[in-house]
A and B are shown apart, each in its own frame.
Chain A
Amino acid sequence: MATRTPTAKPKLTKAELNPEVSEILQKGNIPKIIYLIKKANAPLPPENSTLLRIVIVTGVLLGIYACYEVQEISFLTFILVSSVMIIGNIFSAITRNNPYSWIKIILAIAATSVFLNTVVSVIGAATQGNIPSILSPLASLFMWTVAIHSFDVPARRDLTFSLSGSAGLIAVASAQAIDSSFGIIVIGWLFLSIISLNLLWKSQVNSKETAKQALIHTLSALTVAAVVAFTIVLILPPPKPLRSLTFPSSIQNRVPVSNPGGLTQGGATPSAPAKPGQPGGKVQVGGYLGFAGPLNTGLRGSLSNKIIMRVRATKPGYWLGETFNTWNGQSWTQTPSKTEELTGNPSFYIPFKLTGEPPQLLFGLPQNTETFYIAAPLPNLLFGTESPVQIYYPDSHLYLGGGRSIRTRDVIDAGTIYTVISREVRLTPTQLQNIMPAGTSYTNGLPQMELATDLQLPKPYYRVKALAKNIVEQYHARSTYQIVSALESWMGIHMRYSLNIPPLPPHADSVDEFLFVTKTGFCEQISSALVVMLRSLGIPAREAVGYVSGSYNPITNLYQVKASDAHAWVQVWYGQNGGWQDTDPTASVPYSTPSPGKIILKDTVSFIKTNLITILLTLIILILLILIFRTTSRIIGYRKLASGQKIIYKLNKFGARFKIQHAPEESISLFIEKLKQVNEIKNKQNLILKLESINRQFDDLEYNPETAKNHKEVNKLKAQIFNDLTELSKSI
C-alpha cells in the first residue's frame, strides 16, 4: 500500500514573495546587526492599488485642510503643501517599481531642514506655558514631513506612514479647533481612514467575505469606542481651575503705541461707521468702537464673527475692558482722564483704587485666573473680569487709565498672551437683596469724589425720571436691587433688541430716543438707558464695555471670543458692602459653568439645524454617486463576463424572483432543474420547455467544441438563448 507522507506547506514570507528582498536577506556570514539593518531597509513589494493611494492621500489632504481651517497655517502654505503632497504621491506612484535611490538623500536633507526650522521657531516662540505658539510649528513640521515623505512612498508600509501622519495633523488641528463643527472634518477623516484600513486588510486576506466581516467588526468597535468616549465626556466634571505659580504671558512683536498711556483703535481701522444722522456704514473685523476714549452711542455698524481671542478661564464671565461715567446725551467719556504708571515684570499688582471697590470687600473672595490668547489686533487694553488684583504681562510698565482701564505700552496683536487674576466680586441675587435693604441711602459708602461723576446727568431728563419713578411705583420696588430688577423687567417687556436700528438724528438724545421713539436698540442703548434711569433716581451707576465670555470649546477648554461678542452693560453701586456690581439689562441671564458634553450636543444639534439642507443635499448626492458607481460597475462587470456567465447572470436575475441563485459548483442543468421545481413554473409546460431548450442551447454553446468552431452558429445560439431569456422573464 502506497503511503504518502504529508508534507507541511511552508508559509511564504514577504521576502520569499519578492526575490530582491530574499537576496538581501540571505543571511550568510555577515554580522547580525548589519543583517538586521539590511532587513529593515530591504525594499518592500510596491503597492499597486491606486484606490488605496488615493484614499490615503485624500486623508492627508483633509488633515492639511483641517490645519488651515483652524488657522494654524496660511492659505498659501495650505496650497503649497497640498500641491507638494499631490505631486509627490504621483511621483512615487509612477516610480514605485524602481524608486530612485538619490531621492532619499534629497528628502533627508529637506526633512532635516524642516526639523531645524521647527526647532528654531519653537525656541523663538515658546515661552512659559505658551501652548499655541508650539502647536503651530508642530503642525508645520508634521505637514512638511508628510509632504516630503510623499515622494518616497512606493510600498504599502510607506503609505501607512502617510496615514498615521494625517492622524497627527488631525490631532494638532483638533487641539486648536474653533468649535464642535470641526467634528465634521474628524468624521470625514475617520471615514477615509476606515476605508484605507479596510482596503489594506482586504488585499492582505484576499477574500471578499472576510473583508466584509472585518469592516463590520471595525465599524462596531469604532461605534462602541465613540459611545464610550462620548459618555465619558458627558459625565466628566468640568476641568479644574489652573493651579500654577506663574501664568502665561508673551508678546509676538513689540510695536509701541504712539501715545503712551492713551488708547489705540487696536489695528481695527473703522471703515466708515455710520455717524449720527447718517445711514449705512460698516465696521471692520475686531474693531469695536467702544474701546476708546469716548463711546459714541450714535454710531452704527456690524461686527464680524472672526475670533479675536481665546480665553482659558477658571470661570466664564464678562471680560471687562473699561467703564465710563460721564454722559452727554450721545456719548460716554471718562472723568478724570489722567493715567497712572504701574511697574513690574511680568507680574503687576493692581491697586484697589483701580476699580473703586471698597478695599475691605476684596479680602477672602475667590480668585479667578484668566489667560487671554489674542488672535487679532485689539486696542491696547487688557481685559479681565472684575476685579483684577494681579496681571502677568511681559513688560516693565502698564498704565492705569480712567474707568478701570489697564493700558499697555505696546500694540496688542495676534499672538499676545497675558493672564489676569481677579477677585470675584459678583454677589448672588439674595445677597444683593440683603446688602442694600430698603431705606438705606443709595450712595452709602461711595467715595465723595465719585459722587459727582457716578450720578452725573447732562440735563434733568424729566421724561425719563418720571418714567423711572412710575416703573418703581408699579413694581413696588424699594431696595437698589429691586429697582434695578424692576427697570430691567420693564425694558424686557416694552423694549426690543435689534442691531439694525435707524441712525440717531443729529442733536437727539440717545436715551430719550430709545425709550420714547424707537423703543428698539442694542446693548449700548439699553445699558445707557438703564444708567440714566438709575442716576435719575439717585442710584450711582456707570457704563461698562468689554466682551461676553464667548463660546466654550470643550476640546480645547478655551472660550472663543468673536468680534461680535463685544458688549456693553451696567455697573450699579451696592453700598460699601457690595461695591460695584455688574448687571446686564440686555440679557440678564446668569451664566452657568458649562458641561462639555452638553455643549457638543447643543452645537451638533444647531449645526444640523442650520445646515439641514446642505447635509440632506450631500447625503442625496452621496447616495446618487454610490448608485451611479454601482450601476456602472455592474454594467462594466457584465460586459466583461464570458457569454456563459452572462447567461447565468440573467438566469440568476430570473431566479431571484423565486430566491433561487446559481451556486458556482452547480451545473446549469441542476440549476434549471431547481427552477423547474418552483411552484410558479411547475405547472406551466411552455416555461418548462423554454427552460429545457435554454439548457440544451447553453450546453451546446458552452461545451460543444464543434459548435465553438462555427462563429455563425455561436452567434445564432447566443441570440436564441438571450431571446429565450427575455421571453422567459416576460412570461412571469
Chain B
Amino acid sequence: MRRAVLLASLAILASLAFGQSRKSPLDKFRQLEEILPTPNEYRTASGAPGHKYWQQRADYQIAVELDDVNQRILGSATIDYHNNSPDTLQYLWLQLDQNIWQKHSDTPLTETAPDLKRFPLPIARRLMDDPFDGGYTIGAVRDANGRELHKQINRTMMRVDLPSPLPSGQSFRFSLSWDYKINNSKRTSGRTGAEFFKKDGNWIYEIAQWFPRMAAYNDVTGWQHKQFLGTGEFTLEFGDYQVKITVPNDHIVASTGVLQNPQEVLSPAQHQRLEQARTATKPILIVTPAEAKAAEKAKPSGKKTWIFHAKNVRDFAFASSRKFIWDAQGHNVGGNPVMAMSFYPNEGNPLWERYSTQAIIHTLNIYSRYTFQYPYPIAISVNGPVGGMEYPMICFNGPRPLEDGTYSQRTKYALIGVVIHEVGHNYFPMIVNSDERQWTWLDEGINSFLQFLAEQEWEPNYPSRRGEPSTIVEYMLSPGHDPIMTNSESVVALGPNAYGKPATALNILRETILGRELFDFAFKEYSRRWMFKRPMPADFFRSMEDASGTDLDWFWRGWFYTNEHVDISLDMLTQYNIDTRNPEIEKPLSKKAKEEEPVTLSAQRNKPLRKRTDDHPELLDFYNKWDEFAPLPSEKKAFETYLKELEEDERKLLDPTMNFYALDLKNIGGVVMPVILDVEFNDGTREELRIPAEIWRRQSNSVTKLIPTRKEIRSITLDPHLETADADRSNNHWPRKPVKSKFQLFKDERDGKRNPMNEGKSDGTPPPSSNN
C-alpha cells in the first residue's frame, strides 16, 4: 500500500470517485435508442403491447393416422385463418418443418465439413448411409368450396395463393392433406421421431412439427418465413385445435389438449384411475408397469381414435406407444386445476415413476410464482427418443436408467433438470410467444434462468448447470464469441450463448443489479404483458427498465450486444491522512513514519563502525541533541492562528483519526459491472461496499474510488460472493493472494485423500444409488 498525506481540502472530500484519464470514445452507458426499433402504436416505448397491437389467429381441425407398420404419418386438416392485421393479404405462408429431411434440403447442403482426418464411427455411418428422405408429400390444397388453390413450396415454407385478397378482419378456410415417413431416432435424431426397442419389437413415437403450420405474420417481420435449418425453432399463431389421432388400439396416446373420449379409448379401470388422479395427493398409475409389459407382448386387433381439444395454443404435439406406463396427479395452480401426467416405458423406471410428475408439479408452482398462473389444464412429460423438446402442454424428455435399473447421480439430475426445463417452456415461448427462429435466447435464456430458480428450490445445493455466474466465465473469455443478440441459426456454441449466458445475466440482474424485489416485479410485469402475445427483445429490455425504474441500457449493451467479459482488477490501494497542521499531532506521526522506514544496507553495516564523535565528544553541538520531531513554540502559535481562521464545521474536518484510501480499479474485461468490495480492517471487523456500475460512467477503463474510514484497512476482496462473473479472480485481492490451479489441486488430492467417487470405483462397485 502506498501512503500519502492528504491536504485538508474540502474540495477533495466532496469527490469520492474520480476518473483518471479522458473518457473512452465508446460510452458504455450510451443509450440504446439508436439500436432498438422505434416505438409505435403496436409496441410502446415502455415495452408493453401498444394500443393497436394485433396478432393473427389460426384454428385447426386435424385428423391424423399413425402407421405403426411403416412408421408414417398421414394427416389432413382444415384451417381457419383469421386476418387480424391491418393489412390485406394476397397469400398465406405455412411452415413445412419436415422438409428439413427432404433429400436435398438446405440443412445438409449448408453443413460444413467435420474433421476429415479422423472420422468417429457415428459420423462415418452418417456420411455413408443413404440420406433419410422424410420430407412432406403435400396433397391438394382446397378452399371451403373444394376449389384447388395454387401452392408454391419453397423448401421448408409453402405459399398458398388466395382466390381473392383477404382483407383485414376477415377469415379464410382451407384444407389440405399430407404424409411423411417418420425418422428413426437412432439413425436420424431430431425434435420428433420414433424409437425402436429390439427386445420386444415395439416403437415409441414422439410426433412434433408434423403438420403444415401457419407461419407467423406480425408487425415486425411481416411473414416470418425464414427457412428452417435446424436450430432456430419456430414462432406460430395461437388458435384452437381439434385433433383426431388414430393409432393401433393397444397404444396409449399422450397429447397437447384435453382428451375428449376417454370412455372410448381407455379401459373402465383406466378411466376410473384417471378420475381418481384428479384429486390425488401423489401420482396415480393410469396404466401400470405390468399392463404396459403385457401390451408389449400382445398385438393390436384394430385401431382407435383418440380425440383431443386444445384452446389457445400455438402448436400441437403428441406421443404414442403400447409401451407406455401412465401416471397422473391433479394439481391446483393458483385456482386452475391441472393434470400433471407422465408417460414412459418400463425402461424409464425406477427413475421416471419417482421424479417426472413431481418435477412437473414443482415447475408449475415455481414458474407460476415468477410469471403468471399456468393457464392450461394439462402438463405432460413423455420419455422417448427425443432428448428434450417442448410443445404446448406436452414435452419429450430423454434420460433413463441403465438396463439394470440403476442410475448415476448425473442421470437423476439430468432427468429432473430437463423436465423442469421443458415443462417450463410452456411459459416461454409457448405462452409468451417469442420468435425462436430469430432469437433463441429470448425463450431459452429466460427459461434457463427460471429453471435455475426452480432447481434451487428442489433440494438443498441442487447442482444446476446454469445460472451461477462462475459457470459462464470460460465461455465469455472465448475470443470472438457471438453476442447474445445473434440470430438463432448463426450462433456458434448455442448452449452457452443462448441458454447459459442470458440465464447468468438475468440472475446477476436479479441478485446484484436490481435486487430481488425490483427484478421480480419487473419480470412478472413483462411476463404478464406478453402472455399470449409475441414480444421482441426490445419489449423485454424496455419492460424490465420500465417496471424496475432503472436505466439498464449499459447492462443490455454489455451482456447482450457485445462479446466482452467481466474482469475488474483491484490494482492499487493508497492511504491518505488529513494534514491537521497541528504540530502536536503531525510531528509524532512524522517521527513514527521515519522510525518505520527500513534501515538501508549501508546504514546497517556502518552502524558498528566507531565514529569520530565517539572519540571527540566536543564535536557534538545543539543539533546533535535537538529532537526535530518536537513541536516548536512558533509552530504551535501558527497552528493556533490557523484554527482561529476556520469556521466551527471546518475545524471538525481536521480529524487525525480519519483515513482516506484511494482504490485504483481497472476494467480489463470491458463489461462494466457493480464493484462489490469486502473490506477487512486491522481490528478484525469487515464491511461490504456495494458500488453501482455507474461508477464507470465517465471513464469505463479505470477509476479510483475513495474510501474514507476511521479504521485502517488490512485487506480488500473484490466480488467476494462470486456474483459478477469476474473472469480473473487472481486480481481480485489487495494485497494479492496466490490462487492455486485446478491442476495442482487435483494432483494434491490424488496424492492424498481419495474422494467417495474414487473409492466407489476402486473395486468396480458403483456408489450406492438412492433408488437401490
Do A and B form a real pair?
no
**A interface list, Cβ under 8 A from B:** none
